[in-house]
Each structure stands twice: as C-alpha cells, then as structure tokens.
Amino acid sequence: MSTRTPVPAAIFFFALLGGGLFAQEPASISFENVSAEAAIAVPTREPFVAFGDFDADGDPDLLVDGRRLFRNDCANGEIHFTDITKEAGIEKARGPGGCWFDFDLDGHLDFGTRSGEVWINDGKGHFIDFTQELGIKLPHGSAASIAWGDLDGDGYLDLFAGGDNTYNPTKHYARACWLNVKRKKPLAKMTKKRDRAKIKPMRDVSKDWGIDGKMYGRAIVFCDFDWDGDDDVYSGNYHLKPNDLFVNDDGKLTNQGAAYGVTGRKDPTMFTIPKTGQKVGYQFGHTIGAAWADLNNDGYFDIWVANLAHKYAGPASERLAKLLKSDIDVRGYLCDDSNLFINQGPPSFHFVDERIDRGIPARPIGPRGVYRGDELWSNAVPADFDNNGWVDVFCNQIYGDAPYSFGVLYMNAAGKFQERHKQAGVEIWGGYGAAAGDIDSDGRLDLVVCGAPKVDGKPGIHVFRNTSPEKDWIGFDLIEVKGRQTVGAKVLLVQEEGVQIRQKATTMGSHSQQNDERIHFGLGSGGPIKGVFIYWPDGRVQSLGVPETGRYHAVRPKGGRKSRLRLLGPETAKVGEEVTFTLKGAPKKALIDWDYEGDRAPEETTEEPRLTTTFEEPGTYMIWARAVRPGRVGAEVHRLLTVTAD
C-alpha cells in the first residue's frame, strides 16, 4: 500500500527551475554554416522546408517549397544534398510548401502540398501525381497551411487545410477537411487508366464538421494533447483573429479554443491612449507559427505560439496616418504577444500562458523612446539542440530590414529559456523557413534556416551543422508497415529523474514545415533510462525496454492481440481512506505501471493487477494504469478519482 501526498505546484515548479529534476544551465551550443558544401540553391525568396527520408536510407532528405527535392548524400562527415527534382518526376508540382507522410500505407513516404496535391512514392525514387483521382479541391486553390493526421481513427491520414488570404485583412477563404478512406492496394500500383478510375476519392466533411469558416490559418498542427487516443488540431490564425483548438471526440472535431485557454488575449480596455483617454486593447494576435512540444518535461504537450506583434504606439507618420485614418498609431495596443501555453495536465488539460515566467519578456509598448522594436516571430522549431533533455525552440523573424529581425534561438534549461542565437552562430535575417533534422545522423540536431546573413542581405537556404559538445542521446525511427500508421504515435521516455515525451507529426511551425520525422531525445542529467514506451495510434502500447543509447533504433509496430483494459475502483474517496484499484484485461505476465501523481512517470510497478493507496490531500486525481510485457505490446487506461476532506 502507498500513501499519496501531492507536491504543491509552486514547490514542484521551483524544483524544476532550481535544484531538482534535471536542474542545469544550458549546455554550450554551436553551429557551423556549411551551406556551401550542402549545395542547396532555390530561385525563391522565402522558401519553406520539410525533412523526410523518402528513399528509406536512414537519413533525412529535404523538400523545398513542396516542389524541389534534395536528396541527402552525406558521406565521411561531409553534409551534401543533390537536387533530384527532375529525376523524381516532380517538376510540375505546384507547392507552395509541403510535408511528408505515408498516404496509402505501403511503407514509402509520399508528400502533399498546400495546393491539395498528393504525390505518391513508387518506392523506386519516383513520384506520381494522384491529386485528380483523390478529388481534393481547396476553397482558394491552396491553403496557408495544411496538416495530415488520422482524424477518424481508420488508420489512414486525413487532410486539414487552414484557409487562405489574398493580403487583404477583410478577405479570407474557408478552411477545409477531407477524410481519407481505407485502401486495399497501394496507389503506386494503380497507374493504368482503368486502375486510376477505380481509386476512391477523399470526402469533404468541412461543412458537416462545422469547420468551413473563413480564416487565415498559417499554422495547422496536430497533437493528442489530452491523451485520449486521437489527434486534435490547433489552428494559429492571422489578422487579429482568435486561435482555435479543435478537440477530437471519436472522429468529430469541435472548436474549444476558448474553453482550453489557447485563443490568445482579447481585452479592448486594457490600455488608455494618452491625451484622448480612449480605451483600447488586445484584439487577439497575428499568429504565424505554432508547435506542440513538452516544454517543461511533465509528460504533457504544450503549445508555443509565434506571433507578429506590433509594439509601436504613438504619433503616426503622414503616410501611415492616411492609411489608418488617424494621426495616432495604436497598433501596438492591439496585438497580443507570442505565447507559451503550458498544459496543466489532468483532469482539465487546460492551458496557461507562462511566457514571462519561463524567461521570455515581452517587448515594451509605446512611442519613440519606449519602443524597442516589434516582435516578428514567424515560425517555431522545437528540438533539443544541446541534448540536455529539454526542448529548445528556434523562431524565425520576418522582414529582415530591421537590425533586430534575425532568427532567435531559445535554449531551454529546466523549463526556463535563454537567448543563445549569437553564441550558436545562427543569426539569419527575415524569412519563414526553418526545420531541424539530424542531417548527418550523429545525434546532434542540425538546423536549416531560410533568410539573409545580414540586414537587407540576399536571402537563401542556410544549412547549419550542429558542432556542440557531444552528449548522450537516443533516437527512434518509427516505420510504417502495411496497414499500420505511425503518424500520431507518442514516445514516452522514462528516466531515473523524470520523463520526456515526443510525437510523430506531419507539420510544425508555420506554413506546413516539418522537422526530421525520427524521434530524438537528449538524455542530459536525467539519469539512466528506466523504460521506453510507444503509444501507437491504434491504441497499442509497445515496450522497448532499455535500448542502447547513442543510436537510432528502427521500430515497427508489433502485432498481437489488442488489450481492452478496464480500470475498476471508486469514483470518490476521503482523505486518508484506503482506495483499491483493480485492472481487468491485462495481458498475461504483464507488468503494471501505476501513475497517480499525474507526471506520466510510474510511482509503482506491480505484477498483480491491483493497487491500494491513500490520498492525503483533497482534489481530483487521474489514475493511469499501463499493462505491458517487456518487449511486447499492451495498453493503458485511466480513470478519475475525487478526494474530499470529509
């Protein structure tokens, strides 16, 4: 029997930041610009990038703008890419921007673009356009951002498109959602005319699901943030519109952004304009990028939101006064700042903006003398660059004509962030494009950034090799097998001193960009690995035991009977009262991990499917029980318990 005494949130937070779990300063971080040897050249000013291993040779290739393909040909420690656009047969791809995924579950990476195209990989280095047969038509012919994920639980990836804009704040185009269908045969084997005619088109459910509203969604990112087994969708919206969180409930999306606290701020009376006395305030934000990542290592996914936030508020120039129809520029009072929405975990999974507490101050609002520049974040790239066991974030900044408009690298030390772009050598001005990937597979995540090397400089694609001191790490390449999807999988790493969580997703940041699909963990000072668990999209949980560190492990979903667990126990209890939980349906010889502190690390492991404990503080607790045989598959289940004082 165990006794449960919850750690007060303030004390737990102090422990994370100071002398407790994983406490440390950011490790030394450095990059080398190897753009010349990498040889990536594109005739476009602001390209978008996506990593994906299309040829399954174990290293990430690069898709640029959804229409140029660069094969990773690293050798002998030298980073080099080869343009194989023509060889791959995608010269006619429209783009703009695209991401990788296995559309028909044949084990080969396909890609889709923001114009609704789907290009199928034939497994021989060539791609075939099946857009017409699949019937996808987006309201504006393209979308500002797309993402692919299994929304209806059938194992095949569906398309969510975030609407579009024509540089007119008053004219937006509708969002769209298209559901895929089960496919008996890989599309690459259906190239003949008679076979193409048999291809089942995707189905437009935008109106049925109520998500066809007009919006300029520049960041569409999927994540199962509430651990209920299906992907939810976050839409970061531009032009002072609320951001949306579409919660997935058994294959149906509903917008609950306000309920979960992730829309951004709206308070039209928070400021008073000097002289006039007029009340003004935030009208939500200009969101460009968003990314899901566990920023505080509590086992729950948080949201980093990248906004363009005007900060000047004062006398308007003559030209601007005509445009604004006012001699006072109030834009600095209207734009919400970028956000770090921290998931509070069960039972509510509500989010709180902890940006300031996490070490990132907001720029001041005011006239000349107070004004110190706008916040121009246009992307968010989450990755543990220094292998200290905490997710860092790189943010591009747009425009590139201001001395401060360079990309910013925020290094994470035990949940608090510090700027390290100058030390790291990755200052690039302007642009939207960036993604992280282990290009040379040495365990240190490299960075591709699009922009200029100086203010008002010539833009291009810059490849930065990570040359930071080597630290211990481990990685996992989740590989699709016939009929088994891996997009949407979560990987939970349990160390002696805490947990880390990652997910496999098709997009991050802005405009459908994509990090290396391989799952990467820096091990930092978290101590030895106690276990690694993969939560597959079909509900199975696979134990990997304690794998060897310092390498990538290829992992394919295991079969076996899908366990249907039931966790029995009371719904209410009193403080100090013994409570017993019984797990039904566990596989034979399974070990049962019990988590009743809500930190995703097991407090107890038992061979018997039964736990007796007491709770010493009132509150609502989520009890998790994971039943898995070492090296095999199992499942996890949870239930709520309300503890009262009397």
Give the residue among 461, 434, 433 at the shortest CA–CA distance from 447. 434
Please determine, for residue 8, whether its predicted confidence score (pLDDT) is greater than 60.
no
The model's pLDDT over 36-63, given as tens digits with 9 standing for 90+, comes to: 988 888 866 679 999 999 999 999 999 9
CA distance 152 to 150: 6
Confidence category of residue 562, pLDDT binned at 50, 70, 90: confident
Residue 369 backbone class (left: φ over 0; alpha: ψ -120 to 50; beta: rest): left
Q: Which residue has the higher pLDDT, 276 or 363?
A: 363
For residue 45, the model assigns a pLDDT of: 67
Query: Which of 267, 264, 208 lies closest to 237, judged by CA?
Result: 264
Instruction: Give me the CATH code for the 566-644 domain, please.
Output: 2.60.40.10
pLDDT of 22 higher than 70: no
Position 630 confidence tier, pLDDT thresholds 50, 70, 90: confident
The per-residue pLDDT for range 450-495, each reduced to its tens digit, is 999 999 999 999 999 999 999 999 999 999 887 789 999 999 999 9
Cβ neighbors of 209 (< 8 A, separation 6 or more) are 177, 252, 253
- pLDDT in the model for residue 107: 92
Fold match, 42-478 / 566-644? no
Rg over alpha carbons for the chain, rounded to the nearest Å, is 24
Q: With 90 as the cut, is the pLDDT of residue 195 above it?
A: yes
Write down the CATH number for the domain with range 42-478: 2.130.10.10
Domain ranges of the chain: 42-478, 566-644
Distance CA 595, CA 551 (A): 29
Angstrom distance (rounded) from CA 35 to CA 209:
45
pLDDT band at 2 (very low <50, low <70, confident <90, very high): very low
- Residue 418's nearest CA partner among 27, 24, 26 is 26
- In the prediction, which pLDDT does 44 show? 66
